[in-house]
Chains A and B, each alone.
Chain A
C-alpha cells in the first residue's frame, strides 16, 4: 500500500467577489516532500498557500493535513475559532515580510506561541528557542530586538518561530522576495537544511534554481488552475505547456542578461 500523503487538497475553489482565484485545485504532498508553487503574480499560488493553513477560507473543497481534515461548501458547518487555531498550530508559515513581533525580543518571538498556545513552561520554551536559533545560525541574537536585525536574519528568526510550534508542514510565502539579493542565500540555506531533515514543505517562490534543486515537485499555476506539474527538473528544464514555457523564458532571459 502506498504511503498516505501528508497534505491532500481536493476540489478547492475560492473567489473574491466576481474574481475566481482558485478553480478546482487538487494537490497531494508526500511526507517529507517539497513542493514549489510557481507562476505569474495573480495566478493564485499565494492564495492556495494561505488556504492550506486557512488564513484564507476556501469556498469549496477539502483540505487534509496530517490527521486534520476540513471540508468547505454547502452543508459544512463554519469552523470554530478554537478548531481553526488548533489546525494552524500544526502548520508553520513564513511570510514575505517576516511579520516578526517588534515588541518582543528574538527569543520572545520564538517562545510566545509555544508558551501561549501549547502551555509550555518558560524554561523549556527558551531551551527549544535556543536550539532552533542555533539551527538557523543566530544563537547570539537571542536577546536582540527584531529592529536590529538584517532582513535575512529576520527571516531566519521567523523560520525558527514557526518551527517552535513543531508543525507537521511548513509553508513559505515568497520567503526571499523582500530580501536584498546578497541576503537571499542565507535564508535558502536554512530552507534547504529543513528539506534535508525531512520536513514537508510547500514553497511559493520565484527562485527557479532553488526550486529545481530542492523541490521534488514543481507546480505551475496560472489564472487559478494548475497548468503543469511534475518533477522539478522536468517542469523547469523541459516545460510541456506553452504558458509554462513563456513564464520560465522570462527567468532564463533574466539569468543570461
Chain B
C-alpha cells in the first residue's frame, strides 16, 4: 500500500501560490478578452451585412473545430516562421485562449440575443429608437441575464484550459506542479494536490452557475 505524504508540499508553498496566481490571473485576462472578442463577433453574426456575418462565422468555426492545444502550439511555434515575430509563451497563450474562448462566447451571445422576443425590438422601433439604442437599452440587458449561466460555464472551462499553457512554458499551476514533482520525486501527491486546487477554485463557481440557472428558470 502506498504511503501518502502531503507534508513535504508545505516546502513548495510559494511555488504553488505563484502557479495559482498565474492560473487565476491568466484566466481573468482570457475571460475578459474572450468576452470582448465574443461580443464583437456575436454582434457581427447578427449583422445585416453578409460579409461581416461570413467573417464572424468563419472565425468561430475555425477556432471551434480545431483543438486548443493545436492552436497554442501553432501560435507559439508556427506563427513566428510566418511573421518573423517570436511571441512569448504568455502572449501566445493569451492570444490562443482568448480567440478560442471568443468563438464560444460569440455563440452564447448570438444565441442570447436571438432568444429575446422580436416584439421587444418592435416596441423599441415603434417608440422611435435606433437599432443601436434598441440593442443597448432593450435587447442586450435582457439577453445578458440569460447568457450569464452559460458564460460562467464557458469561463469555468477556460480556467481548466489554462493548464495547457504549461506546455509553452508559462509558469501556471500545472507547470509549477511539474517542477515540484521532478524536484520531490512524489508525482502522486503533487498532481493530486494540483487537481484538488483546481477543484477548490471551480466547485464554488459551478455551484454559483447552478444557482443562477435555477433562479433564472423560476423567474420570467
Contacts and interface: CB of A to CB of B under 8 A. Distances in A.
Contacts of B160: none
Interface residues of A, number: 30
B contacts with A: majority SS: helix
B122 A95 contact: yes
Interface stretch (A81-89, A205-213, A218-226, A242-250): A81-89
Given A101-B120, A112-B137, A147-B220, A92 B130 contact: no
A117 B133 contact: yes
Interface string B139-174: 001100100000000000000000000000000000
A162 B127 contact: yes
A103 B122 contact: no
Interface string A191-227: 0000000000000000000000000000000000000
B129 interface: yes
Contact of B126 (A86, A93, A103, A147): A93
Interface string A43-83: 00000000001010000000000000000000000000110
Contact of B137 (A53, A81, A95, A116): A116
Interface string A27-38: 000000000000
A81 B134 CA distance: 12
A5 to B, nearest CB: 22
Given A101-B120, A102-B142, A92 B129 contact: no
A162 B126 contact: yes
Contacts of B128: 85-90, 113, 117, 165
Interface of A: 53, 55, 81-82, 84-93, 95, 97, 99-103, 112-113, 116-117, 147, 158, 161-162, 165
Interface of B: 117, 119-120, 122-131, 133, 137-138, 141-142, 145, 219-220
